Structure 1
């Protein structure tokens, strides 16, 4: 039974990831630590109550070092000497700047959440991950963070999001290189353009589909994927027209 910790679980993709994991057999998925800044999500509370103890809420603000330390201590206590198998860094934000890069006033704030927060959470949980069997860190990214594909998204008025996700990609590679010898896997997943509060109603896929396909990748993760950046695989979208095709392959960035 593998253990999982997901950041940003109160809504959107994070909530869908927790829901998908909880739907799988207990012999495959054990404890799921669903974290968020506050315990004020009705949907998450309902999911926890229906999980027969498999999902546990942990307060965690990825931009607050004290909160991260407290969450790490609580998870260590809950694991009762066991390690953490999977860390899924999902918490993040998207900016909206119609003026483009010139109007970008929140870059530091976005970096703190999308990049520095991932770094602080990851290094705080490294000791528990070392004691786990899977030693896997999954960072949720986006093709909009790909420099090679930047021309496809030139008109999207989200410059800070693109910049910080590109930085997240390099952060993940740095971790992958340093911890490969210890058997760690650091994997970047782009879950697609999803119909969430962040993605909007015009998005390609339901959040449930994005979560299901992302978890399919997570459960097959191993050292052979260390440092890679991959897309989800969605039948019917493999050869889709437009910017987004979901082929389940590595993404150039």
Structure 2
């Protein structure tokens, strides 16, 4: 029975990951800042073979403690570390020029984004690395974003989500660096973009101004122009199914790559 650690499992596709993985027979270690809430949901939904461990993606000490707690639950080894947790800036509707007179806001949001989306994966991988080395599959998957892919940014003119996009691109580099360093140990490190998913973060427009909503509608229009077959946001269940399919079919030779949930670099929706 494979053992998977899901870092950032309390909601959205993170929670869907634990549901899908547990149903497939994995032993799942699910991390969250608020353990009580996640434990309650896991119990209410009767998700089997799942343990909840406290962890904060922005705290190296917290992740080291989570790895120690995990080790005692799974005899010191795991097969797959899946890093889903992230910081999604509230400035997602702003383009670069919108920060012209908001330098402090940009720096504040960038700092939070870097801590969670760049430092977080590095902290998590280092914390769980001994357990991965003892496991059989040696897989690490970082949930990234298509907005971190430069050609897609240019093609669809995605000018918004600046701190988030920059930090996710940085997270991809962190994954590539681990792949380069541990190439001879049989690891498969992947960054995978989840596409457009109908999570609360994507569907709740209440936090955006009318101007930001208008910009996002223009962006969606350009995306639909590039992907005429795209039928809109998919469910977390479908998203997770596609991501895990890419993971299962990936080879060690692909370690360090940044892929879409279709397993390529040409189709991001």
Query: Normalising to structure 1: TM-score of the pair?
Result: 0.84
In the other structure, the counterpart of 1:17 is 17
Cα deviation 1:151-179 (Å, max 9, x = unaligned)? 24544531001100111111111111111
Corresponding residue to 1:32 among 28, 31, 42:
28
Q: How many residues align?
A: 232
Whose Rg is larger?
A: 2
Structure 1 Cα separation of the partners of residues 37 and 244 of structure 2: 22
Q: Tell me the equivalent position of 1:215.
A: 244
What pairs up with 1:31-110 in 2 under 5 angstroms?
Answer: 31-41=27-37, 45-48=40-43, 50-52=46-48, 54-81=49-76, 83-97=77-91, 98-101=93-96, 102=99, 103=102, 104=106, 105-110=108-113
Q: What is the CA–CA distance in structure 2 between the aligned matches of 1:194 and 1:76, rounded to whole Å?
A: 32
1:249 and 2:243 matched: no
- Report whether the alignment pairs 1:158 with 2:134: no
* 1:63–1:22 CA distance, 2 compared to 1 (3 A): same
Q: What's the offset of the Cα at 1:251?
A: 5.2
- After superposition, the C-alpha distances for 1:84-143 in whole angstroms (9 at most, x for unaligned) are 100001000222324433242310111000110110011111111100001110011111
Unpaired segments ≥5 residues, structure 2: 205-219, 221-231
The CA distance in 1 between the partners of 2:162 and 2:22, in whole Å, is: 35
Indicate whether 1:171 and 2:174 are aligned: yes
Does residue 1:229 correspond to 2:258, yes or no?
A: yes
1:63 CA displacement:
0.9
More deviation, 126-135/98-107: 98-107
What is the TM-score with the length of structure 2 in the denominator? 0.80
Question: Contact between 1:48 and 1:55, CA under 8 Å: does it hold in 2?
Answer: no
User: Gapped runs of 5+ residues in structure 1?
Assistant: 234-247
> What is the root-mean-square deviation in Å for CA atoms of aligned residues?
2.1
8 A Cα contact 1:142 1:192, kept in partner: yes
Greater fraction helix: 2
State the alpha-carbon separation in 2 of the partners of residues 21 and 198 from structure 1: 23
